[in-house]
Amino acid sequence: MYVVWEISMQLLRIVRAVEQAERMCRCYWKRVPPAEWHEVFCEGRAAVFCYAAVHSRARTATLIRIAKRAMDAYLYRWNRERKYIQRIEVEWEDGVEALHTLPQWRTEDLAKEEGRRMDVRAALGRLPASWQRVVVEALIEERPFAEIAECMGRSIGAIKQMLYRARCQLRRELAAYAEEYGGKSRDDLV
């Protein structure tokens, strides 16, 4: 809003300067008798005043056009930002409402979930080191088999076989969780 105020103040100063130049020009011509007009034109004093008045008007018109464009651009940006803020507020309100509909976590659930994580980590820790590395890189980091095989210095088939055996071992050790999850597929657990 400061920019708009600054532009309007500059325009006001320019308009006042043009009006003052026009008044000076009129006063000058009123003081000079018509008989001396030719002499005044020859000296060029009147030409300076007329030039200043005409060019000040053109300059003022140009500055007014520039100010109008700047004001339009400012209002367009402000309106666009206002709409964006309104959209964000609506999304925020929808998010807050959705947050109230989410199931509340209880501390028992969190403790149970942490216990499961610890059991999975323990089962993963009981695997041979090469199997652990394959499980982490293939399932957690989601690296391609070719990249894992190159890093470990083995063939892609060997990497796939190690991953299969590691999954089978983890399924056996974590069979209790399969029943707890309601008999989901084997691949959902590991």
pTM of the complete model:
0.40
pLDDT value for 59: 66
Residue 177's contacts (CB-CB under 8 Å, 6 or more residues apart) are: 116, 119, 189
- Helix ranges (H only) for the chain are 2-31, 37-43, 45-101, 107-125, 129-135, 145-152, 156-173, 175-180, 186-189
Cβ burial of 132 (10 Å; 0-12, 13-18, 19+) is middle
What pLDDT does 28 receive? 54
* Angle, in degrees to the nearest 10, between helices 107-125 and 156-173: 130
pLDDT means per 10 residues, the chain with 190 residues, are 62 65 58 54 50 59 69 70 69 62 63 80 90 90 91 93 92 77 51
Contacts of 184 (CB under 8 A, 6+ apart): 178
Q: Tell me the C-alpha distance between 91 and 98, whole Å.
A: 10
8 A C-beta contact, residue 33 and residue 104 = no
pLDDT score, position 128: 92
